[in-house]
Every structure is written in C-alpha cells, then in structure tokens.
Amino acid sequence: MCGIVGYCGNQEALKILLQGLQALEYRGYDSAGISLKSTHRIETLKTKGKVIDLITLITESNIDTKARMGIGHTRWATHGIPSSENAHPHFTDNVSVVHNGIIENYRELEVFLNQRGLKRKTQTDTEIIALLIDFFLKDKTFEEAFKETVKLLKGSFAIASISKDENFIMAAKHESPLVIGLSDNQIFIASDVSAMIEYTNEFIFLEDGDTAKISAKGITIWDKDGQKVKREPITINWSKQTAQKSGYKHFMLKEIAEEDESVRNTIQSRISENGKILLDDEISIDKGFIKNIDRITIVACGTSFYAGLTAKPILEKYTGVKVDVEIGSEFRYYNYIYSKNNLFIAISQSGETADTKEPLRMAKEKGIKTLSIVNVKESAIARMADSCIYTLAGPEISVASTKAFVSQLAVLYMLAFYVGQIKGKQIEKKAKMLLSIPKLIKTTFNNTVEAAKKLAEEYHRYKNFLYLGRGLCYPLALEGALKLKEISYIHAEGYPAGEMKHGPIALIDENTPTVVVAHSKEPLYSKSLSNCEEIKSRDGKIILISDKQADIVDETIKMPEVDYELLPFIYVVPLQLFAYYMALFLGYDIDQPRNLAKSVTVE
C-alpha cells in the first residue's frame, strides 16, 4: 500500500505535493519522491526514507520550485528493497510514473520489452509501466501510449503519469484507490482524500477500469470499455485525520475493512490462473531440500502465533510432514530437537519481534534452513532468514493486528501448496479457490459489521467471555479472545471446545457469555452443538459464528458459505469486528490500547 499524489493548477506544485505526501505517509514510509513538469522537461528527486528526508534532499537541490504540475509518491515496498533507485517516480527521458498496487504480469511484459532492447534498471514492477509508455510514444501520443500500456496490465493498480511534452496528467485505476479533487483552476489526484482535504472538499472517486486525463482546464474520464463517462463529484467534510482513516472512526476498523485488499496483494502475483504457486523467486532454498523436508517448525508470538496455529493442519495435509508451532518467548529457552531436513519459519508483522528473532538466530547457528514471513521490508527478521516471503499487507497502524493475520495466513497456505506442488501433489484446485477469498472477505465484512455492532452494544457490560472452537475454528477462538482482551480489557479465554468439560465449564453461568465458532462442514460440528447444549443447561448465553443457524443459541452471526479449509480467512472478520465494537462502546483508545506496543523489540 503506497501513497500517490498529483497536481495541475495555478499554484506551485512542490508545496502541494509535499503536503500531500506527508498526509499519505501512513500508507508507506520506506522511500519517497516527486517529479515536477517544467518547460519540455521533467525533474525527479527521490530518496530512501521518509518524506522529511525527501524535503531535505529538495532543499539541497536546484529543482524548479515554480513548476505548476507534478506527481509524487510515498512507498511501501512490494517489488524490490527500499532504496533510492527503487523509489517512485520511475522515469525515462520522456515520462514519469507513480504506481500503487502490483502488476501481476510484469515478468511477461519485461520479456516483451527486453526483446525490443529495453531493460529495467531497478527491481520494481512499476518501471515496466514507464518503459511501456515510452516504447509506445514512438508512434503514439502520450494519451494513446498511456492507454495502450494500461490495456496490457494485469493486477491491481492506481497509476499517475506525466510527459515532458504535455500539460496534463494521465491516470488509471483498477482495484487500488484513486481519487480526483476539484477546485477552481486546479485539479488534484491522490490515493485518498487526506492528501487534498486542505485544498478542496469536492471529490470524484474513480471506478475500476477508469482512465482519466487531468489538466488545470478540466477532466476527461473513460470507463473500462473506453467510453467517455461523467462521474459526479461528492462533497466530503472531513478533517485530515478522518480522511487518513477513509472516514472510519479508527484505524483498526479501516484495517479490518482493508483485509480483502491485503489478501489480494499477498496472493495475486503468486498464484497463476491455472493454480500454480509462483514462489521460486522468493524462496532461494534448494528444491531438493524442500522436496525432502521432514519437519516444519513455526515460531511466532501473539496474533502471528495464532496464524501459524491456524495454518498447521493445512501445512501438514499438503506437505505431508509434521508441523510444530511454538511460542517464541518459550521456544528460545528450551533445547528443541531438530530433524535432519527441518525447515524453520519465523512469522512477524514488524520483522523486529525480539522473541521471534532470537530463535531464528539460534536456528541459523545450528545450520537449520530458515524462512521468514514478514510485512516490513528489510526488517531484521527478513534480512536474517535464508529466504523471506513478504505479506505485502501494507502498513498496519492500529496496535491490534488484523489485516496482518489474514495476509500471514495467505502466505502459509501458499507455502503449503508450494511444497505440495514440488512433491507432485494436486494443489491447483485449492490454490485457485484461494483467489476467490478477497471477494468473500469483503462480502463478509459488509454482511457482518452491523450484526457485530449490535451484539457488542448488548454484551459490552459483561466482564468475562469464553471462546470455543474445534479444528480450524479453535485457533480462531484463541485469536478472537486475544482481540477482546487487547482493546476492550475484558477477560476472555479461548479453548478447544472439547476441553470445556476439563475445567472451563466451571466458569459457565448467566454472567459469562460464550462465543462459539463452528462451520457446518467441520468434522466435529455436531459435537460443537453438544457443547452449546451443555452451556445452555448452565444458563450460559451463546453467540454462534457459523454458516448454519442453531435453535439452542441466543445469537448468531450468519456466515457465507465457504470451503472448510478456507474458513479462517472470513470467520476471523466478525471476531475482530465484535472486539472493535465492544471497545468502542466502552469508550477505550482502540488504536493505542494501554500497555501494548505495535512492535515488541525487547524481551
């Protein structure tokens, strides 16, 4: 998730672009850059680091500060390490481009360009866009070349581009946000309204497939079929902080709402249309070793640990080997016995978690092959492991992790299918089903958000909760209980439903509600309903999260139908929403709960 900003108008573009980038920095902050259009030339400055580092670079430069048109970008790295070279804008002698998203078919397009003598100088997929536009400029106008380029792109993208010979910005949107801001004699474009809210409250939200031509004189928009369309502007009266949250009250709710986009970013360039897993470029571990793996050891903390626990049965099924999932803070202090061909996996959103980093270091000292699953590029754990698969979830601002969980799950599922693929197993059908998950996550959010809010309003005064699940639903019960504890400060215990009679049943009464997570196709669904009967006979209240109604429970959050093995991606959504609204009704600081930090870098 990166931040794009562009400007055409009667003011100096530099100040507006920099203010816009600072407002968008929550979307990405590993590098930043701008391109300004002067008379028949484009000047570009970019650097690794934050927008303040870019401002320092500009202060020391001779860039034309009087330019009236330009584009800017603040980056959250997906393709290529954070560096000045990989920072946006990407440019040729004729054009400059900024991009948010992932170009799935950039490898095929690179072959096309290489055959014509054009080669990338950076590690990014975005440079391909600039090279394609430049190539088509040989016999087309800038507008035509841009449109021709967009036709070739597959994936998710929001793009803005300028030419040295034209006084307009070309833009395109597909599955990544892009908004146009309107004001007298000036037009803005950005990833979200926060970059423009100081200058206007009139916005046009581009739709998927739209292409736009933007100048100080006005806007032309074409839809996915190439037909000119008129998009009606919308008036939004938000503060800058509200705009950064896209109108949501808290970052946590915004990030839950973004989970479909996060999973899409995680999987879309790594699963082919025919169901092949494309991880060869990211996993440098020898395929011979992968084929002969005899054990997988996952080490993580908190929500990342629960992601590993959720994926454990999927990994065991498709890899055919034993999987251990260990808590980092415990694992580092006992003598773990590794097998001959053991793969060690460290999971961390930040890539800096001390209790995960130390076991990784210890594993490497013993000569164990290591792999990390990390969100933050070039973090310590990412650099330390033999190979790293980035989740590409985008910045997660709220302390309570949400979208990182589903993106970590997506990587673990792909890894399971990848190892199975190398071992000759038929994984294509299930891998293709994974491609449908982003849409299902969005549907689940839309269908359950009000139900979760209503239940939280009814239950937020209770002081204790029990969360139960079986099979794949058990780790979700743990994660649901953790979320409730983290942000609402309510005591909650997650348990395997079958363990209820071995102790937790003593807690059941009319003051201790139970959240039961169950899927009608799970092997032990009938036993989960039996647990509900036992709770009900002790006057306990039951909230059921399931695809099937049950008369015995008090409340049900009805879930969409989904393949049993893929249920964790959507069943976690109402658990997160319920915790969020519980904290909201209690009046707590949701994004920065007490005693917690986003990245735990000390023991």
| DSSP letters spanning 136-190 | HTTTS-HHHHHHHHHHH--EEEEEEEEETT-SSEEEEEEBS--EEEEETTEEEEE
**Pair of tokens at residue 325:** 């999932």
pLDDT at residue 401, as a whole number: 94
Per-residue model confidence (pLDDT) at position 467:
97
301 is annotated as an active-site residue: no
Mean of the per-residue pLDDT values for the chain? 93
pLDDT at 528 over 60: yes
| DSSP annotation of 233 | P
Strands 155-163, 228-229: parallel, antiparallel or unpaired by DSSP?
unpaired
- Helices 568-586 and 437-459 cross at an angle (nearest 10°) of 30
pLDDT at 187 over 80: yes
- pLDDT score recorded for residue 601: 53
pLDDT band at residue 40 using 50, 70 and 90 as cut-offs: confident
Per residue in 333-368, pLDDT tens? 989 999 999 999 999 998 989 899 999 999 999 999
Going by C-beta distance under 8 Å and a sequence separation of 6 or more, which residues neighbour residue 212? 170, 171, 172, 180, 189, 206, 219, 220, 221, 222
Q: pLDDT digits over 531-563, tens only?
A: 899 999 999 999 999 999 888 999 999 999 999
The model's pTM is 0.81
**Residue 111: pLDDT above 70?**
yes
Task: Look at residue 442 in the predicted model and tell me its pLDDT.
Answer: 97
Determine the pLDDT at residue 153: 95
> How far is 281 from 270, CA to CA, in rounded Å?
10
Amino acid symbol at 578? F
CATH numbers and ranges of domains, the chain: 3-244 (3.60.20.10), 253-435 (3.40.50.10490), 440-586 (3.40.50.10490)
Residue 514, pLDDT above cutoff 90: yes
Alpha-carbon distance of 437 to 450, in angstroms, equals 21
- What are the pLDDT digits (tens) for 284-315? 999 999 999 999 999 999 999 999 999 999 99
In this structure, the strands spanning 491-496 and 211-215 are: unpaired
For tokens 């028949």, the residue is 40
Distance CA 399, CA 365 (A): 32
pLDDT digits (tens, 9 = 90+) for 563-584: 999 999 999 999 999 999 999 9
The pLDDT-based confidence of 102 (bands split at 50, 70, 90) is confident
Which of these is catalytic: 2, 301, 388, 532?
2
Predicted confidence at residue 504, as pLDDT, reads: 87
Instruction: Report d(CA 487, CA 580) in Å as an integer.
Output: 7
Phi first, then psi: give them for residue 176, nearest 5 degrees.
Answer: -135, 140
Lowest mean pLDDT segment, chosen from 77-81, 181-185, 205-209, 320-324: 77-81
- Residue 312 among the catalytic residues: no
Q: Which of 276, 322, 558, 598 is an active site residue?
A: 598
Using DSSP, state whether 47 is helix, strand or coil. Answer: strand
**How do residues 405-429 score in pLDDT, each as one tens digit?**
999 999 999 999 999 999 999 999 9
Q: Tokens 């440098």 appear where?
A: 284
Confidence at 599, pLDDT banded by 50, 70, 90? low
47-65 burial: b if 16+ Cβ within 10 Å, else e: bbbbbeebbebbeeeebbe
Q: What is the pLDDT of residue 296?
A: 98
CA–CA gap between residue 247 and residue 242 (Å, rounded) = 5
**Percent of the chain residues topping a pLDDT of 70:** 99
Distance CA 530, CA 535 (A): 9
The answer to whether the beta carbons of residues 74 and 29 sit under 8 Å apart is: yes
Classify residue 450 as exposed, middle or buried by CB count within 10 Å of its CB (0-12, 13-18, 19+): exposed
